[in-house]
Amino acid sequence: MLEARLANIETQLVAAQQTNALQAPMEQVVGQADENPLHEGANTKIDDAALLNPSSTNLGDQSNNLSIPEGSGPNELTRLDIQECLPPDDMIHELNQLYFEKFHPTLPMMNKYRYYASMERGPEARPPVCLRYAMWAAAASFSESYRSTEDLLYKRARQYIEATEMKHQGEQYSTLYHAQTWCLIATYEVTKAYFSRSWMSVGRAICLVQKLGLSSLDVEDTRLKHLSLPAHDWIELEEGRRTFWAAFYADRWASTMTGWPMILDETKINTNMPASEECFERGIPHETVTLAAARSPDGGRNLSPFGGLLLSTALYGFNHQHVYQAGLDDRPEDVENGKFWKRHRILDTAITNTFTFLPEHLRLPDAGHNMTTVFTHISLHTLVILLHQIAVGQAIANNLDGVLEQSQARILMAADEIVSILRVVTNQEATEMASWAGFCLFVAAKVFLKDHKSAPLHYSPVANIQFLLSIMKIIGRQFPITDYFVAQLELEVQTAGLVLDTPIEINDDVLGIDASARVTFNGSMYFTNDD
């Protein structure tokens, strides 16, 4: 069916080119993508006229100048039995630049100079079209000029990678490029709150990195069968490492937000942590350590900002296990010997050690110029809140007053730290953090919202709630997933009867959300239903 449809598209395009115009929109496929971001389906309109019509105005101001860049269009696209116009050269140039300047720092898995060099090769040696469209979709959200095109670029990325998978027996599908494509697609989908789609895309990315052996790059194991050849040089090896860790990063956050199981088992990872960005870009071989070694003072000495982010992300995996692998023998009433409290103390100590062992170049405020490092600290403080909110629930249920008081103090302290960090971050810098930043701010704001009734007279959390809400709205312009948390927070602020300096306007149409219903995510399930 797919081959027949694509062949039909090609026939129609050839006919349209002969008449120099498309006289009518093409027939849309059944199963058009649902506008509801929570829809379970992930179908796209493969023959959408807006995607294929060179005169379409849906590509913004550049649409009237759409052309096939010399030497890049037909040869590459006909390999997928598809013919269409790529974006114009100037648009491609700007989106590539935006990708490496704005998006790449949040997920630095590709070598910029290798990418540009590969684009000078013949069509067969260039990165596949699906990867380029995924990059352009990620970059378009950072530009007012191209923001209206990002959904079309995203759909094309999915269209091409799915077509590649169905080509012959799928032998062209198992490459590093395609693993990177799924990482980018999954990241884009979660920023748009396409949760089900993103979850499936994360799974595809992980299957590919495991199939390519990227989870075992730093150990020789003849028992494993991989489809990738050994890396030609250190840059290629490091790019493989980074692609694996990008999939790991997506796996941990996807599980945190949805409550669904994690896929990657940390104990079976035999790929070292990423090297510094400078070494990666310049191709300077640098010895790195395992994730376990990076948690020690000596091992974490040369940790890169990306490595620091992964260190904090890995701890979310332990928190996920702490919550969802609880057994009947947890004995939460026994603080000293109960399994629940033993897990709690192990994770709490691990978080504290992570703060303690971070190298100087990853400490605040000196590293405040690097938004990856800023988000690392915010995510660690958020994890403290999540961990101790679980403890509060058990302390209340089992009348453990001492534990209750201690955990409540830790929660409020962590929320205060998040606010302190953000007060030295500009609005523009806030949009350069990872897409999960909105969730972390929501967690902190909920702490202050819950605390306002018991706060002493000399302390008012309203200012902190107002501040966090304003930052969340700024981040929401870049990452619509944050709008979910904004809608939830505004609803609960209004329900609590708090009066903020800026009047709250409940938006019932935020990404299709019903503002009268709670938004429940795994990471927030412990505290969104505690009123």
Provide the residue-wise pLDDT of the chain in tens; the chain has 531 residues: 444 444 454 455 444 444 443 333 333 333 333 333 333 333 333 344 444 443 343 444 443 333 333 334 445 544 544 556 889 999 999 999 999 999 999 999 999 999 999 999 888 889 999 999 999 999 999 999 999 999 999 999 999 999 988 886 666 678 999 999 999 999 999 999 898 999 999 999 999 999 999 999 998 765 666 666 788 899 999 999 999 999 999 999 999 988 889 999 999 999 999 999 999 999 999 999 999 999 988 888 889 999 999 999 999 999 999 998 878 789 999 999 999 999 999 999 999 999 999 999 999 999 999 999 999 999 999 999 999 999 999 999 999 999 999 999 999 999 999 999 999 988 888 888 999 999 999 999 999 998 876 665 546 788 999 999 999 999 998 899 999 999 999 999 988 888 787 655 544 444 444 333 333 444 444 333 343
CA distance 208 to 392: 40
Q: Which two tokens stand for residue 84?
A: 């269409």
Residue 315: which of 373, 266, 363, 358 has the closest Cα? Answer: 266
CB-side exposure of 341: number of CA atoms within 13 Å? 16
- ∠ Cα 377 379 380 (to 5°): 65
Position 523 scores a pLDDT of 40
CA dihedral (55, 23, 68, 162) in degrees, to 10, reads 100
Position 376 scores a pLDDT of 97
Q: Which two tokens stand for residue 166?
A: 């169905």
CB-side exposure of 393: number of CA atoms within 13 Å? 16
Position 137 scores a pLDDT of 97
Q: Which residue has the tokens 């350590």?
A: 289
CA distance 434 to 105: 9
Q: Which residues 6+ apart lie within 8 Å of 162 measured at CB?
A: none
Rg, the chain, Cα only: 24
Residue 174: which of 135, 133, 128, 220 has the closest Cα? Answer: 128
Query: Measured in Å, how far apart are the chain's first and last C-alpha atoms?
Result: 52
Grouping H, G, I as helix, E, B as strand and the rest as coil, residue 203 is helix
CA distance 81 to 73: 12
Bond preceding residue 365 cis, omega within 30 of 0: yes
Q: Which two tokens stand for residue 100?
A: 């490496």
Residue 51: which of 135, 147, 157, 126 has the closest Cα? Answer: 157
Q: Which two tokens stand for residue 530?
A: 């505690």
Q: In this structure, are residues 410 and 472 in contact, taking their beta carbons and an 8 Å threshold?
A: no
Counting beta carbons within 10 angstroms of the beta carbon of residue 516, is it exposed (0 to 12), middle (13 to 18) or buried (19 or more)? exposed
Please tell me what DSSP assigns to residue 128.
Answer: P
Q: In this structure, are residues 239 and 216 in contact, taking their beta carbons and an 8 Å threshold?
A: no
CA distance 153 to 140: 9
| Cβ neighbour number for residue 427 with a 10 Å cutoff | 11
**Could you tell me where the beta strands, DSSP code E, fall in 24-179?**
none
Residue 259: which of 324, 211, 198 has the closest Cα? Answer: 324
Q: In this structure, are residues 424 and 384 in contact, taking their beta carbons and an 8 Å threshold?
A: no
Please tell me what DSSP assigns to residue 358.
Answer: -
| Cβ neighbour number for residue 310 with a 10 Å cutoff | 22
Handedness of CA 288, 289, 295, 299 (dihedral sign): negative
pTM (predicted TM-score): 0.80
CA dihedral (351, 431, 412, 490) in degrees, to 10, reads -140
Counting beta carbons within 10 angstroms of the beta carbon of residue 336, is it exposed (0 to 12), middle (13 to 18) or buried (19 or more)? exposed
Q: Which residue has the tokens 């960090």?
A: 421
Q: Which residues 6+ apart lie within 8 Å of 210 measured at CB?
A: none
Please tell me what DSSP assigns to residue 313.
Answer: H
Q: Which two tokens stand for residue 21?
A: 């115009």
Grouping H, G, I as helix, E, B as strand and the rest as coil, residue 42 is coil
